[in-house]
Amino acid sequence: MLACSFGCDRLLELGHVSVDDDGAVLAAATGGTLDLQP
């Protein structure tokens, strides 16, 4: 899926989201916006 490979993989690589042992998606706490690079 294009949307997932564009967003999800990059967010995981940068540590903004993760998946716990039960498979739940966890979002990192952030005080601002995400600075994503192409």
Q: Would 1 be classed as within a structural domain?
A: no
pLDDT band at 16 (very low <50, low <70, confident <90, very high): confident
Q: Would 30 be classed as within a structural domain?
A: yes
Given a contact cutoff of 8 angstroms between Cβ atoms, the answer to whether 13 and 23 are in contact is no
Q: Would 26 be classed as within a structural domain?
A: yes
Q: Would 5 be classed as within a structural domain?
A: no
Q: Mean pLDDT for the chain?
A: 74
pLDDT band at 19 (very low <50, low <70, confident <90, very high): confident
Q: Would 2 be classed as within a structural domain?
A: no
User: What is the pTM assigned to this prediction?
Assistant: 0.48
- The count of structural domains within the chain is 1
Give the structural domain span for 21: 10-37
Cα 7 to Cα 1, 28, 37, distances in angstroms = 10, 15, 11
Q: Which whole number is the average pLDDT over 2-9?
A: 62
